[in-house]
Amino acid sequence: MINIFFSVLPLSVSLGWFVAFAARYRKADSAQRLLVLFFFLCVLLYIAHAIYFNHKYSLFAHVEAVYSFCTLSGYPLYYLYISNLTDEKPCTLRRFWVLLPSLIVALVAMVLYLLMDEETRCCFVVHEFYTHESHGHDLSWVVNAQIYRVYVMKLLYVVQIIPVCYFGYKKLKRFDDSIRNFYADTENKTLWPVRVLLITLLVYACVSVTANFLGREFFIKEWWMICIPSVLFSILLFSVGFVGYKQRFTAADFYRELREADEIERKRKQNNKVKLAEDTKELLKVQIFELMENQEIFKQHDLSLSDFVSHLGVNRSYISNYINNELNLSFSDFINMYRLSHAQILIKDFGDTLTLSEIWEQSGFSSESSFYRVFKRMVGITPLAWKKQCKKTVSANDTEHV
């Protein structure tokens, strides 16, 4: 009974997320729609897993070709999901060529199984996937071909993880940097889901390679050993589904705002409004710091690079290049540096009369969690701990004067 429960646990998680994403398919963006296909294949994959771990030899022989396709398609589909999440345009059918190796291996497996009789199929499955005993001598070319096909499948499974992790990481990192260089408040702009996706991707890869190296037969030696991969993959699948389901901001939204900002710049140029000489970095510096220190634009919630363009009438790339290259900061860090400095002044001077909630709101932070995260990252301690330090310093100074 316990064996059955753990053998179907990943299937239950996959089926739950498949139903959840399918129910909102019409309202979903292109990335979430791709997760419908991803979890559908996961459902098929873990049906085959359940059949395997419950020792249904004959039935597993009939579904092993489908199992091969689903196994090899998981990572390419996950990469396409990341692409849909981070690229301006959704994936076209042309980009689904990454599934071609999976399809070829599955079709070869299907044809070879069809060329076998029922007894040969069952014997092959038992020897190859359960006991790992020798298939004997004088094997037919069909059985030999199927053995080599299994080797190719295992090798391809491991090899494809490397480019998926590498290029997936690069896409997520590039998108994350773009977000940080356009928005001051990144909390609701996929910052934490991107990090979760990165961690999920890498952990999934490590667990998958380990499981593939040990082989499925390793986990059927004792009934309790199936619990390990079952729980791990269930957690990872749930993480993928949860992050994908909570996703509310994608590259499509980001590039839409970029196009709107470009349109504002274009109209501003047509109307011959304020212009800045391209080679005058000093003037740009003066204008930016005037905006920050005198007008205190950093207190504005949901601040973006477009707001700077509107105030300064300067090309967005000039502002971005100055902050990135001259100050070596992202736009988000540049704004939050001012917000943090203002918050520290308020804590020092008005810490007894203002609450921390009032302080982060007056400093321009979008939420309490954002305030605490930025404060801890830039100062090294929490706002409350820093406030206590300030009080101790003031008390020590008062004692010295007495």
Q: What is the pTM of this model?
A: 0.77
Fold of the domain built from segment(s) 1-250:
Rhopdopsin 7-helix transmembrane proteins (1.20.1070)
Distance CA 336, CA 232 (A): 37
> Closest Cα partner for 379 from 351, 340, 347, 339?
340
Given pLDDT bands bounded at 50, 70 and 90, which one contains residue 273? Answer: very low
Is residue 72's pLDDT more than 80?
Answer: yes
- In sequence order, the β-bridge partners of residue 373 are none
Q: How does DSSP assign 49-90, residue by residue? A: HHHHHTT-HHHHHHHHHHHHHHHHHHHHHHHHHHHHHHSSSP
Is residue 324's pLDDT more than 60?
Answer: yes
Is residue 5's pLDDT more than 90?
Answer: no
At residue 183, the 3 state secondary structure works out as strand
What does the pLDDT look like over 237-261, one tens digit per residue?
898 898 888 887 888 888 888 887 7
For residues 136-141, average pLDDT: 78
Distance CA 39, CA 128 (A): 27
Map out the domains of the chain as residue ranges.
1-250, 275-400
Give me the pLDDT at residue 342, please: 92
Residue 53 near residue 7, CB atoms below 8 Å: yes
Q: Does domain 275-400 have CATH number 1.10.10.60?
A: yes
Is residue 121's pLDDT more than 70?
Answer: yes
At residue 222, the 3 state secondary structure works out as coil
Tokens at residue 282, please? 């000093």
